[in-house]
């Protein structure tokens, strides 16, 4: 069973043309400035790339997930997927699926037009995957919440117009099922402080920041869904986020494989292309096999997601395999480039840096192994 039809192929051609014109010539500048211009996001909005799956009244096109998959694959090949799908396909669903109509109209049209940049703040300095350690609190005070706490590693934290904050609203609870809520905090709210841009090893074009909340008062109408249901909402949307990360990692792996092949065919040593040396030829063969296995797994996963099947275990397997595989392909392609792989003028240098994050965000490889083990009836200690 195939995923794409003729209309998806036509859309892919449009996306490729857009990337050639608007992305590739600007990547170096975005990397240097460590941000993606608002003007680019509005262009994506004008093209209809942002939140295509949403209802038309929110600015969407009401199309299937196949179109999102095309976007992730094509932007992933140039390692710029987060710029397009981060806000509209990872963060916006929290609002679309669990907020009131009033809240949807307040935020979603801004996301689909590219005029509003959202963020989601879960991670804290001493808390990553272990949500029981979240300390950011939201204390009820009449019709408001008063938020205090700190978040870190927040994508678009510096440039966001609003942030969805994971807060503890039931401090006496020891259960994830009723301890947390998701609350929207708008930029400019007193007590909401954007910290420094974090100096990352890679992914420089995407700003990442620390956020602080000091007696930050927000109305209870800014809460997403019901109080205490934050963990439920996070788990409901996390599988799609992980699927998008898997597709992105796979696209990067495919791009890095091609970089290695192209360079090895053109670079000569001892009177012959380095690709023809048996060691390198076999290395490329191994890379191609790894990448094809990843593609088969990803395609099967996309089909399952579109069909509405439970993908928790399979997406965890894919996240684990593709993230580790893509890092291996990065190392091998880098090595094929020799000293030139260490030069910023060759894309493999940026990909080599950036791909490392795939084993950490949206659930580390270790957490994926934990999820998989539990699905097999094993409880690691």
Which residue numbers are catalytic?
241
Token couple for 184: 């929207």
Token couple for 49: 């790339």
CA distance to 262, 267, 273, 275, per residue, from 270 (Å): 18, 10, 8, 12
Bridge partners, 166 (sequence order):
182
DSSP state of 311: -
DSSP letters spanning 171-219:
TT---HHHHEEEEEEETT-TTEEEEEEP--SS-TTS-EEEEEEEEEEEE
SS3 state of residue 161: coil
DSSP letters spanning 345-365:
TSHHHHHHHHGGGGGTTTS-H
Burial class, 270, CB count within 10 angstroms (exposed 0-12 / middle 13-18 / buried 19+): exposed
d(CA 92, CA 166): 15
Q: Nearest 5°: CA angle at 317, between 290 and 309?
A: 120
Distance from the Cα of residue 129 to its chain's centroid: 16
């Amino acid at each position: 069973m195939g995923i794409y039809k003729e209309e998806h192929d036509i859309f892919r051609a449009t996306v490729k043309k857009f990337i050639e014109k608007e992305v590739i010539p600007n990547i170096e500048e975005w990397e240097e400035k460590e941000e993606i211009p608002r003007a680019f996001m509005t262009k994506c909005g004008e093209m209809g790339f942002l939140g295509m799956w949403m209802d038309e009244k929110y600015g969407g096109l009401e199309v299937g997930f196949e179109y999102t998959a095309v976007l992730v694959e094509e932007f992933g090949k140039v390692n710029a997927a987060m710029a397009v799908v981060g806000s509209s396909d990872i963060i916006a669903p929290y609002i679309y699926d669990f907020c009131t109509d009033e809240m949807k109209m307040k935020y979603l049209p801004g996301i689909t037009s590219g005029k509003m940049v959202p963020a989601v703040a879960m991670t804290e300095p001493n808390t990553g995957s272990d949500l029981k350690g979240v300390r950011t609190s939201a204390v009820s005070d009449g019709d408001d919440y008063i938020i205090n706490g700190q978040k870190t590693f927040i994508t678009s934290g510096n440039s966001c117009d609003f942030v969805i904050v994971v807060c503890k609203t039931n401090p006496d609870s020891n259960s994830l099922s009723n301890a947390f809520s998701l609350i929207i905090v708008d930029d400019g709210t007193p007590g909401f402080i954007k910290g420094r841009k974090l100096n990352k090893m890679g992914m420089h074009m995407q700003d990442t920041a620390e956020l602080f909340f000091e007696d930050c008062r927000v109305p209870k109408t800014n809460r997403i869904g019901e109080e205490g249901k934050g963990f439920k909402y996070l788990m409901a949307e996390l599988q799609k986020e992980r699927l998008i990360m898997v597709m992105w990692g796979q696209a990067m792996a495919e791009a890095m494989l091609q970089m290695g092949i192209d360079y090895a065919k053109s670079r000569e040593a001892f009177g012959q292309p380095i690709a023809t040396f048996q060691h390198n030829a076999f290395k490329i063969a191994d890379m191609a096999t790894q990448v094809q296995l990843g593609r088969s797994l990803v395609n099967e996963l996309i089909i399952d997601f579109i069909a509405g099947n439970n993908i928790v275990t399979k997406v965890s397997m894919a996240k684990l395999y593709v993230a580790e595989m893509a890092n291996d392909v990065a190392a091998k392609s880098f090595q094929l480039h020799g000293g030139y792989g260490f030069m910023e003028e060759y894309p493999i240098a940026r990909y080599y840096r950036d791909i490392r994050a795939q084993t950490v965000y949206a659930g580390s490889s270790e957490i994926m192994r934990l999820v998989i083990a539990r699905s097999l009836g094993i409880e690691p200690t």
